[in-house]
Amino acid sequence: MDTKSIVYIALFAALTAALALFPPISFAGLGLPPITAQSLGVMLAGALAGARRGGLALALFIVLVAVGLPLLSGGRGGFGVLLGASGGFLLAWPVAACVIGWLLERNRDAGLVKMAAIIAFGGILVMYAIGIPWMALVAKLPLSKAVTIMLAYIPGDLIKVVLAAIITRGVRRAYPAL
């Protein structure tokens, strides 16, 4: 692995950790995943660092959380967090970043709308496809109820998709060789 790749991986793991500084919106006592800004880091890692680097950046981040570093919003960390209701979403982060990166690498000339659609596919659909069944299993909810609960998260995720697409387009224009 070259130095540039190591820097990208560390940078996007750190960016995702820094996004934890935004306070989470949690549903106290319900054991549901909090609404955080950190999924924006997932989207940006895939869109800007690419499939391999973005996926590895989020894998590094998850390993750091698993060993106990309080890198999740609200100062959460530790292996137990990964086993909770939000664990499936967290474990989906490397996959989502990889999917976003892979699709954008194959669509380098994507306009803003297509870019946003790709980021939404990886950052919402892929993440939900992994996280919702996990949440239903851990929280002992019917799958239909888990899906219904997650509908409340979609508006915020769509805002993050738009932000990620705008940021990605701006960075790519400023650094075309990225």
Query: Per residue of the chain (178 residues), what is the pLDDT tens digit?
Result: 899 999 999 999 999 999 999 888 876 556 667 788 999 999 999 999 999 999 999 999 999 999 999 999 888 999 999 999 889 999 999 999 999 999 999 998 899 999 999 999 999 999 999 999 999 999 999 999 999 989 989 999 999 999 999 999 999 999 887 7
Q: Give the pLDDT of residue 23.
A: 83
Number of residues written out for the chain = 178
30 burial class (0-12, 13-18, 19+ CB within 10 angstroms)? exposed
- The one-letter code for the residue type at 55 is G
Domains annotated for the chain, with CATH where assigned, are 3-174 (1.10.1760.20)
Conformational region of residue 68, where left means phi above 0, alpha means psi within -120 to 50, and beta covers everything else: left
Q: Give the pLDDT of residue 1.
A: 84
Alpha-carbon distance of 111 to 88, in angstroms, equals 31
What's this model's pTM, rounded to 2 decimal places?
A: 0.93
